[in-house]
Chain A
């Protein structure tokens, strides 16, 4: 054997062994069932996972979300800051949620890409990530002020409704209006309120109407404003998050609040938020959130409560009143405040998480989301692998029948191809590691079909040379030589397409570009180098006289 031959054989041998070794991790990892994995120690599982091929979200299950940050209304300084802060807040929230290997990246000016592999409860994650979580301690306006506000609203609505013809001061019968009818027309809003105690409630069935009507008002015009800022109303209107049943008629009512538009304190004064049971007498079995305040926050609150005994203060989260309580006495600094409502364990836990992690500096919208449940992920792997095996089998059968022994060599090359692709994908020191997606798996399957092409080109040439009466060794040599350029040409174009997909694609499409590119490169290696070595071994070294092709 010439030294050159020896090097080639060694090279091929080493490559094949390495590929088989690296790929073995993936095979082992993917073929293990849940029970098998549970039987291993966490270290072993981690090591196996790190060495096996990384699975894309569509095979592993998980969520991919693109959030767009609304930068409108922010100053130039805030604008620069906001992306980093938003990323931090989301990362904090997700950390507490407990997802392995989350990825939260800023993209461009105003987008954040969140990837949560292996996520089980995507609805919850969405809600958790998206909420602004602006927590404010808002005072309820005193009775006289509330009265003024309600009258102002009534006047404005009454005018509006008369102008639009929704109501009229005349009746069909021509008789003068009754007291109730007059009230409905002059005080359309207040007439729907009930005061079981000091605070107003409205029947749930009227709330949708009320919200729509209020939305149609310009509050800066209707309500009294601040002397130094005539665009800012002195009062804010809000609804309670829950309904309750008022004793006599069993109907659902929702609390309506006229709040002073200056918070006593913000959520930034909240130092910690913990879920505790039994904080509220109204909901003794429901969990509540106990909030510990910062020192300055505690002092502010103590101050305020000391001066406002008998008044109501509310905890407002994202413009919705979560709880309202009357100040019975001065709340000394150090006492935790409690946020209660008819929460489920999950809701309470989520509110605590967002309060702890901080509020989002700007509102965000989800502009793209793709979530795959774990069972579909597993199904996809199984189906994909099955399709691959069946296709592989068909190709193998064909190659053996059509090209006989040479076909067997081509089949070996195919196996090495697949091993190479898997080995490369699981071993390339790139960050983030290339992930195998469902189209990626299809890419591997496609390469099985296409890889044969290089071999076919070579074999057909060899056959031709043999037909032209060349010797076996000459036929092999010339076959490979003639075919080489054609193989290069042909593969380059598919590589260009794969490259474009790699560059422009994201997520699953990128995965396809990766496997296709790797597959083509691998198939060129095996067809040109590996199979040649085998042929040469057979003919030169072991002196085979007749070529079964």
Chain B
């Protein structure tokens, strides 16, 4: 069985509409980011304490909050899941280590709820210094990755292709950041790792299409660039969709079945795969076409 072969979709004909759609989605994300004062940083980057506990029976978030206040924790974020039996508590604390805050919270939760044992699942503590360092490291990693990729594509293809690819990447990252902001998810180290993976993966798609364009340019010499790219996109459609589909299968499985710890990571991957595929077709290629058209127009004006 096969589908989507021999299609003649006029991808590039829709490109104005596609640009507007992308712009709108990015704008929504940016507004959400602006309203929340920037991306929500997890304790990896903002510093703080995370404690995950599991109770025998369901417990209300309010009662957990009461126990927290009893140990002197005023502001904490409590995330409830697992049939209301598990909770992840996130808070900022000055002297968390000196106090063994996590230990005292756990003790208090147990004394406040006799008969409903709170078991320790995991704890993370990130001091402000480390938070700063991790922020710097993450930024460096992203910059290096982008530079490496830019160089690579510029070597394999012309510069305008690289520009289109990078634009698609920026588009993907912005949309994913926006979605994180809209869904209230925090940016942690694994999420940055997911971003980098998306960057690499989205490029994957884009390059396959670029390869096709390069081949078709030779094969279909004489046709207009718009026609060539449209043909390439149609030819690659089947492969693009199948790969994205299989990757999406596994990532969705990870999101649904993988458990709470990996959920944000899987969410980033999910969004990244969908948006990355879209951007390879509707952002990278049309931008290259626009660039080419403008280039040709400039050339004609000079010689004509």
Contacts and interface: CB of A to CB of B under 8 A. Distances in A.
Interface in B57-105: 97-98, 100, 103
Nearest to B215: A482
A401 interface: yes
A412 to B, nearest CB: 16
B123 A438 contact: no
A498 interface: yes
B259 A380 contact: yes
Given A368-B130, A448-B250, A493-B207, A376 B122 contact: yes
Contacts of B145: 496-497, 500
Interface stretch (B20-28, B171-179, B191-199): B191-199
Interface string B166-210: 000000000000000000000001101100110111011101100
Interface stretch (A132-140, A388-396, A529-537): A388-396
Contacts of B19: none
A117 to B, nearest CB: 14
A504 interface: yes
Given A489-B211, A497-B197, A460 B125 contact: no
A512 B200 CA distance: 14
B274 interface: no
A460 B252 CA distance: 25
B56 interface: no
A504 B196 CA distance: 12
A165 to B, nearest CB: 29
Interface string A483-513: 0011001111111111011011100110011
A434 interface: no
A501 B119 contact: no
A504 B259 contact: no
A58 interface: yes
Contact of A493 (B141, B204, B265, B266): B204
A442 B254 contact: yes
A324 interface: no
Interface stretch (A33-41, A81-89, A214-222, A451-459): A451-459
A446 B124 contact: no
A504 B242 CA distance: 32
Nearest to B144: A500
Contacts of A68: 129
Given A123-B100, A372-B122, A391-B249, A438 B262 contact: yes
Interface stretch (B148-156, B225-233, B293-301): B148-156
A364 to B, nearest CB: 10
B9 interface: no
B261 A450 contact: no
Nearest to A520: B200
B258 interface: yes
A182 interface: no
Contacts of A384: 258-259, 262
Contacts of B148: 496, 500
Contact of B152 (A442, A456, A492): A492
B239 interface: yes
**Which of B103, B119, B246 is most buried by chain A, counting CB atoms within 10 A of its CB?**
B246
A439 B153 CA distance: 28
A276 interface: no
Interface string B224-260: 0000000000010011001101111111111011110
A375 interface: yes
B193 A505 contact: yes
A460 B242 CA distance: 10
Contacts of B2: 402, 463
Contacts of A486: 207-208, 211
Contacts of B246: 395, 398-399, 449, 452-453, 456
B207 A439 contact: no
A159 B252 CA distance: 70
Contact of A387 (B127, B204, B208, B258): B258
Given A369-B123, A373-B122, A390-B257, A395 B197 contact: no
Contacts of B149: 493, 496-497
B120 to A, nearest CB: 5
A457 B246 CA distance: 13
A448 B250 CA distance: 8
A373 B120 contact: yes
Interface of B: 1-2, 5, 52, 54, 97-98, 100, 103, 119-127, 129-130, 137-138, 140-141, 144-145, 148-149, 152-153, 156, 189-190, 192-193, 196-197, 199-201, 203-205, 207-208, 211, 235, 238-239, 242-243, 245-254, 256-259, 261-262, 265-266, 269
Given A368-B126, A383-B259, A438-B261, 15 more contacts: A366-B97, A366-B127, A376-B52, A379-B259, A387-B250, A395-B249, A402-B2, A404-B1, A450-B204, A464-B235, A490-B204, A493-B200, A496-B145, A505-B189, A509-B190
